[in-house]
Amino acid sequence: MTTLTAEEVQRYKRHLVLRDVGAPGQQKLKAARVLVIGAGGLGSPVLMYLAAAGVGTIGIIDDDRVSLDNLQRQIAHDTDDTGRLKVESARETIHRLNPLVNVEVHAERLNARNALEIIARYDIVADGSDNFATRYLVSDACYLAKRPLAYATLGAFDGYVSLFKPYEKTADGTPYPTLRCLFPEAPPAGLVANCAEAGVLGPVAGVIGTLQAAEIVKEIIGIGESLAGRLLICDVLASRFEVVSISWDPDNPLSGQTPTITDLSIHGSTDGSACAAE
């Protein structure tokens, strides 16, 4: 088990006094490797809270650059970062927050050619992407690589969070669901507006991204009740949270009884976007 230095004991002492975390939990965080897809509205709070919590290695994949209209919600960047690669800006923010964290940057798009190789380097993946093509690519790749996926998505005033680990089974022997159990296929392009078209209230990204980060920390340490098999829905305008169950769909094309998706070729050669404008 990775040991904690005197500086780490001082930095993380509010974790160390928690009965459910303590030194063993903090050591698990230090040893963990987390990949965050997108350094945007969701990725920003995820990155900052994972770094603050002491996750030892954080990978960031995003090929986008900071623009002024990002700053209303993408708190890993500031005005002086406009025009810079988001992965570089986010790395500097993390370093200022917690220089003990190792940051690995991937200034590229996630696609069917590189997804499995990149995802396999990490223990758990956080999806902060802003389009359906990437979400399904990430979900399929995490299933094939057997990596848990902390999933989140934003609406204008609401958001959704879950944890997908469909390569594992529940206590009764039923597989956990995947994204394709919830939505078998992505909607046609253009049917659902993205945040650039529909807008998003800035703090909503913070709320949902923070919940996503909490789910990752819980999964790494092994505490609490996981969102695996459940979907958390947050309606900020109504100040309401709801959790609904998600069941494994034996007919889903990825992890069903007769799967038709056995590799990432279904995603073709089209690049997914890790720009994460959310």
The domain locations on the chain are 32-266
Average pLDDT over residues 252-258: 95
pTM of the model: 0.94
Q: How far is CA 210 from the centre of its chain?
A: 10
Strand partners, 102: 57
pLDDT for res 269 = 61
Is the pLDDT score of 134 beyond 80?
yes
Model confidence at 251: pLDDT above 70:
yes
pLDDT band at 276 (very low <50, low <70, confident <90, very high): very low
How confident is the model over 100-116, as pLDDT tens digits? 999 999 999 999 999 99
Residue 278 has pLDDT above 70, yes or no: no
Which is more confidently placed, 192 or 89?
89
- Least confident interval from 8-22, 119-133, 179-193: 179-193
pLDDT of residue 2: 77
User: CATH for 32-266, among 3.40.50.300, 3.30.300.350, 3.40.50.720, 1.10.10.10?
Assistant: 3.40.50.720
In this prediction, residue 79 has a pLDDT band, given cuts at 50, 70 and 90, of very high
Quote the crossing angle between the two packed helices 202-221 and 22-31, to the nearest 10°: 110
